[in-house]
Amino acid sequence: MMKHMRNMQMEFFSGKADAIVADNWRRQLERNFLSARCPPEFRRDLAVHHLKDDALVWWEGVVDSSNGIRLTYDDFLEEFNGKYFPLEAMDQMESKFQDIRQGSRNVREYGDEFHRLRRFAGHYLSDRELVRRFLKGMRIELRNSCNVRDYRNVHELIEKAAEQEVGLEEERKQNQASQNRGVKRTQEAAPSGEVAPARPQCRRCGRNHSGECQVGVCYNCGQPGHVFQDCPNERQVRPGRIRCYRCNQEGHVARDCRVQLGGNAWGAPPQQQREPAGKPRAYVAEAPEGPEPIAGSVAVGGVAAFTLFDTGATHSFVSPNLTREWAFTGSYNTKIAGVETAGKEKITTNGKYEEVPVVLACINLPADLLELELGRYEVILGMDWLAQHGAIIDCAKTCVRIPLDGRQIVYRGMKTRTGVSVISMVQAEEAIRKGSEAFLTTI
């Protein structure tokens, strides 16, 4: 039997290590006994043979205090557990398990430590509770990307998190490389041996700019106390300061322009034609040509959803067809809400899902979604979501930009050759004012 133990590389225990090392030695000892089919009567002597230093001195003291009674292997285990696994040590292990955090370790290293401590404090927990405990200790960016679905056990969660970790690291390297290229171009643009000076921060408005601060100053006459549209002086042309985006002429802005895009003059002064703006809304109209909407596949509630980013919608919406398929099991408010359309009628929503995970580039950007029958799209992300996350709509490049911790998430919409285009209420009112016919339809 001694030869079998040597062949299985049974280690010696000195008694100077912590509870985890002691538990590992005890488990190895019992595994080797089972593998070698060691008879029970030999186990105590073989276990004592693999003690050394302080551990051997401790056992000899146990034997001396037994008053000549022969101790069995079960007695050895009882004394060993009492010596190296006292209640205070178990309390310490449980405290470590309760407070375990991933920190700077990768997911697999974190998982190894989690399983080591679980032997002492987490053996009574169910798989669902262990998954929740493991998620709690993960780094926040990794936890958010993994928290969009359910897991059967911790092993499945670790494998998925390891994949996400690789993707996040690749994204971090790409962002770092882009920043380095930007710094290099800035340095090359400056004269040799010089660094381009940064604009100073203005003490008045808090922004970085050079020259005199123009906050609160009229752009027409340059005097404080009023703004451009209330200026009593004659409108002046200031090159590079004011230019109309409608007619491309200087001296006025688009809302005061008297020229239509078709070249005709307005029939009334701009102040009389201006109407109070209503609440932003979103509706659909057929259009043979026009700018592409920003839409595409986005992970919402744990499933891929055809999603529209819409600045013309005050709220965000989800189709009931999607809610029947997604993995989201969070909060649902059954309070009925009414949604205004471009006409006089109101559409009633079924309810509201709160804090639904919306994942872009492995980052969770949660949304509150009103359940509503939609047409082509499964999810519409409106102004509430866009404003909450500081999203910037880039219509020219058909993308959405979201600043995040010094970097930027860029989502590019899919190019669609057919289908419908979405216009906002502001665009509709502009078209009607130019004489276009308007049709209110229900699809």
DSSP state of 334: -
What is the C-alpha to C-alpha distance for residues 13 and 265, in angstroms, rounded to an integer? 97
For residue 280, is pLDDT > 70?
Answer: no
Which residues sit opposite 307 in a β-bridge?
A: 296, 379
Query: Which tokens sit at 28?
Result: 């190895």
pLDDT for 381 equals: 93
Cα–Cα nearest to 27, from 120, 154, 130: 120
| Angle, alpha carbons 374-402-291 (nearest 5°) | 55
Cβ neighbourhood burial of 264 (10 Å; 0-12, 13-18, 19+): exposed
- At residue 340 the predicted structure's pLDDT band, cuts being 50, 70 and 90, is low
The mean pLDDT of the chain is: 74
Q: What is the pLDDT of residue 428?
A: 66
Element (H, E) at 408: strand 407-412
d(CA 292, CA 396): 9
Rounded to 5°, the CA angle 316-317-323 comes to: 135
Region 140-167 average pLDDT:
86
pLDDT of residue 176: 75
Estimate to the nearest angstrom the gap between the alpha carbon of 404 and the chain centroid.
Answer: 10
Most confident of 179-183, 242-246, 367-371, 392-396: 367-371
| Higher pLDDT pick, 255 / 90 | 90
Helices (H), 206-358: 270-273, 320-323
Distance from C-alpha of 278 to C-alpha of 169, rounded to nearest angstrom:
45
**What are the two backbone dihedrals, phi and then psi, of residue 131, each rounded to the nearest 5 degrees?**
-60, -45
Q: What is the pLDDT of residue 375?
A: 78
pLDDT tens readout for residues 33-68: 888 888 888 888 888 888 888 889 988 888 888 887
Task: Provide mean pLDDT across the span 72-91.
Answer: 83
* Tens of pLDDT, residues 84-130: 877 777 777 788 888 889 988 999 999 998 888 887 776 678 888 88
Rounded CA separation 251/269 (Å): 16
Q: Does residue 151 contact residue 157 with C-beta atoms inside 8 Å?
A: yes
Tokens of 102: 């991933």
Number of residues assigned to the chain = 443
* Predicted local confidence at residue 237, as pLDDT: 44
- 257-264 long-range contacts, CB within 8 A, separation 24+: 260/434, 261/434, 262/434
Write down the pLDDT at residue 422.
46
Evaluate if residue 332 carries a pLDDT over 50: yes
Is the predicted pLDDT of residue 392 greater than 60, yes or no?
Answer: yes
Look up residue 228 and give its two tokens: 């451009």
The pLDDT of 328-351, averaged and rounded, is: 70
Does pLDDT of 306 surpass 60? yes
Tell whether the model's pLDDT for residue 313 goes beyond 60.
Answer: yes
Q: What are phi and psi of 84, to 5 degrees?
A: -105, -5
Q: Is 393 helix (H, G, I), strand (E, B) or coil?
A: strand
Whether the per-residue pLDDT at 248 is higher than 50: the answer is: yes
pLDDT higher at 391 or 172: 391
Please give the residue that has the higher pLDDT: either 214 or 295. 295
- Report the pLDDT value the prediction gives residue 367, as an integer from 0 to 100: 93
Q: Which residues does 48 contact at the CB level (< 8 Å), separation at least 6?
A: 56, 59, 76
Query: CA 92 to CA 178: how far, in whole Å?
Result: 46
Given a contact cutoff of 8 angstroms between Cβ atoms, the answer to whether 310 and 365 are in contact is no
pTM, 2 dp: 0.34
What is the band of 386 on the pLDDT scale with cuts at 50, 70, 90? very high
Q: Is the pLDDT of residue 305 over 60?
A: yes
Looking at per-residue pLDDT, the higher value among 266 and 331 belongs to 331
pLDDT band at 380 (very low <50, low <70, confident <90, very high): very high
DSSP state of 229: G
Residues of the chain above pLDDT 70, percent: 66
Report whether pLDDT(226) > 90: no
Query: Tokens representing 18?
Result: 């912590």
Cβ atoms within 10 Å, residue 388 = 14
Distance of CA 298 to the CA centre of its chain: 13
CA atoms of 306 and 97, how far apart (whole Å) = 41
